[in-house]
Amino acid sequence: MTHPAVEQRGNQLFLKVRVVPGSSRDKFGDLHGDAIKINVSAPPEKGKANSAVGKLIANTLNLRPSQVTLSSGETSREKSFLIEGIELEELVARLPG
């Protein structure tokens, strides 16, 4: 079972997202290419939006915040988050939609 937004490199899993900061509410959206669109109300300044995205991913996937780490795209809308402590099949099953 695979998902376009989930990439497995060795034994590590990465979730590719496209962030829309400054939205009216925090929510997972549809696929945008090979990334999941994520809206957050936090502004794109001083890492606030990145932190909000990490928390939303952790809450949505029923993970601890420490299991979700920004791995690339700190200043870009296109980001990749390292997801730890979960198997590929379980991660894909927990993704909304």
pLDDT (tens digit, 0 to 9) for every residue of the chain, 97 residues total?
Answer: 689 999 999 999 999 999 999 999 999 999 999 999 999 999 999 999 999 999 999 999 999 999 999 999 999 999 999 999 999 999 999 999 7
Is there a domain that residue 34 lies in?
Answer: yes
Give the C-alpha separation, 97 to 85, whole Å.
22
The CATH number assigned to the domain holding 48 equals 3.30.1200.10
Between the CA atoms of 51, 8, 39 and 59, what dihedral angle is there, to the nearest 10 degrees?
A: -60
Task: Answer whether residue 1 is part of any domain.
Answer: no
Angle at 92 between CA 91 and CA 96, to 5 degrees: 100
Overall number of domains in the chain: 1
Domain span including residue 48: 6-90
Is residue 47 assigned to a domain? yes
Residue 45 lies in a domain: yes
The CA distance from 82 to 61, in Å, is 13
